[in-house]
Chain A
Amino acid sequence: MGKLNRDDLDRLESEYQESRQERDYIRVGMSTCGIAAGAEPVYRFLCEEIRRRALDVEVRRSGCLGMCHAEPLVEVSVAGAPRSLYGEVGLDAARRILDQHVEKGLVLAGMLASQDGLLAPPEETVPRIGRQLRIVLRNCGIIDPTKIEEYIARGGYQGLKRALFELGPESVIEEMRTAGLRGRGGAGYPAWLKWKLTRDAEGAEKYMICNGDEGDPGAYMDRSVLEGDPHSVIEGMLIGALAIGASQCYFYIRAEYPLAVDRIETAIKQARRMGLVGKNILGSNFSCEMEVRLGAGAFVCGEETALIASLEGRRGTPRPRPPYPAQYGLWQMPSNINNVETLANVGPLIARGGKWFASIGTESSKGTKVFAVTGKVRHSGLVEIPMGTTIREIVMDICGGAEGGKHIKAVQTGGPSGGVIPEELFDTPVSYESLQELGSIMGSGGLIVMDEDDCMVDIAGFYLGFCVEESCGKCAPCRIGGKQVKMLLDKISARRATAKDVTELRRICHAMQKASLCGLGQTAPNPVLSTLRYFENEYEALLQ
């Protein structure tokens, strides 16, 4: 396949759709979680058996459908039987699926994986699954991430095409403004404004950067998107580069995510071969190059200025802002940094228009948000819901509530920069503002469920320990304050502290919030302050 131009894209889309429709297939989820649960031997077994039994069934691979608790997941679509999704499939189960479902058309009801009414991965390009609406995860678990054709067949690169040939940079930014998409990395800054500021800034070169340094322990939607649908991020990057006037893009991805790195590198190669990356994209006069750079295990590198320092090959220490990267970024040139999830929204947003996007969500928080729901919950996994969905719906309805008959006490959102939300407040609709009012933050979308067995002082200590280790040490409030807070928490946990220590704890926390140089130090006290706000009794119970 040679380089595509604007008309080839539509032709390819319908060709692939037709060519794949009638085929019988079995699909195995092969992202990090699937592989960890044992998907590889299942995949190999299915391939071998199908060859041995001479069945006319294609075995396909896909990324993560988000139902991590039920991995390995196997979807079966054969003529004469309803399309079905099986969970926790080992080799025995795989054999039974072949014997019964594939060969005889009998669905094995007892082995089906279902969550919130989902019986098989949906076919729409922006699917609804029960209460979920999947824009970011639209292709995850459905397409083979190593095949660009499958992305194109589901409407991929149509946003880029519209941006190039119908809209142009200014109108792209205008669409983004209408859409009201805000940064999904945590801070919630309007994406259109970042793009506009970078576009308006003067510089000989401009850079478009993807922040794939997903450091919040407990959030993994970015990994899942990079692994399961890499082209969606590439498309977002290309549209962004066009809008801000950049001809060079960088992906900054955690080295701890080798599969994600591999998938994005493969995807870039494919896109280049098809004329979607490189010179004269889709036959237009827009040219853009892409490179992948690896992080090296530093949480602070999720902060924009630290990320830039790391991209330049230096220690990832932040610097004071302003000037913001939009004016003074990589190699002192105007640079725009967006998070993976933000970018994955851009393709469909531009293809369907800003008005469509703005019709989803709440007044101030538009679109959807992906949460990684983990911890003491029955169905842990990735959930993408329209903004405004309540925490109760996410935890109780979609994810099945507590494990093993326990009582859920609280959830933590926003990771080490966020806070806890007690069960009484679970009816709060999720938005950037509502979570902030509760003393937490949206963050990157980690949502950790805690039950009656979990001690809040211990949790606060866990997060503080994380921030102390990850503090870059440049500014004193974070370096020294964090350490002192951690020591006080340890003292409380050891039942050696008095009420005076708690006062001291609060005082240092407030000082860190006010005086730290970057987001890491400013938000590190949040887990402490929010556990104090809602669970002060647990602190008091440990005092002398």
Chain B
Amino acid sequence: MADVIMVPDISRTVQKWRKKRGSLIMALHEVQNRYGYVPRNVSLQLAQLMDVPLARIYEVVTFYNYFNLEPPGRNNVAVCLGTACYLKGAPEVFDAHKKALGLEDGGTTGDGEFHLQSVRCVGCCGLAPVVVMNGQTVSKVRPEGVRDLIARCRKEA
């Protein structure tokens, strides 16, 4: 993995959290927001800055689904598999994504262009099934519309 140096703005924000009790998770959110994942050397620096053992950091990072240890793709596709979406055909929508991108759940394309994952309920059940593409929620997705959706994403990127 490439070396990632903690940039000054992150260490400043982390310093801010350091003063507050129990804020390791908040500091990790800051790291993930900045890098898209939690890089190992950043964890090492975080351990020093926050004065917690590296093992504690990994214990937390691996417990919560939200944190990633691998870098995401340039485009991130999250297919909601919450109950409402599930009933309205999300498994087929998810399969269409897998096929179109040639990926399994949690995979990233070789060129780093797309990362695909399933997620639990984004709270948009009234418009099921939904897909969150680079942070934008797309509603009432049909399996046959998935290729277009991805093509559009590729073009915009």
Contact = CB atoms under 8 A, between A and B. Distances in A.
B140 to A, nearest CB: 8
Interface stretch (B22-30, B92-100, B149-157): B22-30
A296 B126 contact: no
A71 B82 contact: no
B21 interface: yes
Given A217-B82, A466-B120, A375 B88 contact: yes
A376 interface: yes
A214 B123 CA distance: 9
A380 B126 CA distance: 5
A427 B58 CA distance: 51
Contacts of B88: 375-376
A368 interface: no
Nearest to A226: B123
Given A37-B127, A220-B123, A412-B83, A313 B137 contact: no
Nearest to B120: A217
Interface in B101-145: 119-128, 130, 135-139
Interface stretch (B5-13, B41-49, B60-68): B60-68
A313 B120 CA distance: 22
B128 A374 contact: yes
B139 A294 contact: no
Contacts of B21: 312-313, 331
Interface string A458-487: 000011001000001000000000000000
Interface in B32-72: 59-60, 63-67
Contacts of B128: 374-375, 380
B25 A313 contact: yes
B60 A375 contact: no
- B interface, size bucket: 35 or more
A33 B127 contact: yes
Contact of B64 (A32, A71, A297, A454): A297
Nearest to B91: A462
B86 A315 contact: no
Contacts of B126: 33, 68-69, 71, 220, 372, 374, 380-382
A35 B22 contact: no
Contact of B124 (A36, A331, A472): A36
B132 to A, nearest CB: 9
A85 interface: no
A296 B124 contact: no
A194 to B, nearest CB: 22
B84 interface: yes
A404 B146 CA distance: 24
Given A220-B123, A298-B63, A36 B83 contact: no
Contact of A256 (B59, B67, B119): B119
Contacts of A454: 87
B83 A217 contact: yes
Contact of A296 (B65, B130, B135, B139): B65
A463 B122 CA distance: 16
A297 B82 CA distance: 13
B97 to A, nearest CB: 18
A315 B58 CA distance: 10
Contact of B83 (A37, A310, A312, A415): A415
B124 A32 contact: yes
Contact of A218 (B26, B66, B83, B136): B83
A525 interface: no
Instruction: Tell which of A224, A295, A472 has the most Cβ of chain B within 10 Å.
Output: A295
A27 to B, nearest CB: 19
Given A71-B126, A217-B83, A315-B63, A36 B25 contact: no
A313 B139 CA distance: 34
A314 interface: yes
A260 to B, nearest CB: 8
A293 interface: yes
Contacts of A466: 120
A257 B59 contact: no
Nearest to B139: A36
Contact of A446 (B83, B120, B122): B83
Contacts of B28: 296
Given A296-B25, A310-B25, A316 B123 contact: no
Given A217-B83, A296-B25, A375-B88, A316 B125 contact: no
B137 A36 contact: yes
B25 A71 contact: no
Contact of A32 (B59, B81, B137): B137
A540 B84 CA distance: 26
Interface of B: 20-26, 28-29, 59-60, 63-67, 81-84, 86-88, 119-128, 130, 135-139
28 contacts: A32-B123, A33-B126, A33-B127, A33-B139, A36-B130, A37-B139, A69-B126, A215-B120, A219-B125, A255-B29, A256-B121, A293-B25, A296-B28, A297-B64, A298-B64, A312-B22, A313-B22, A313-B23, A313-B25, A316-B64, A372-B126, A374-B84, A374-B126, A380-B125, A381-B126, A415-B83, A448-B84, A450-B87
The 3 closest A-B CB pairs, nearest first, are A68-B126, A217-B82, A296-B64
Given A68-B126, A295-B64, A331-B22, 9 more contacts: A33-B139, A36-B136, A217-B81, A296-B29, A296-B67, A314-B59, A315-B59, A375-B128, A446-B83
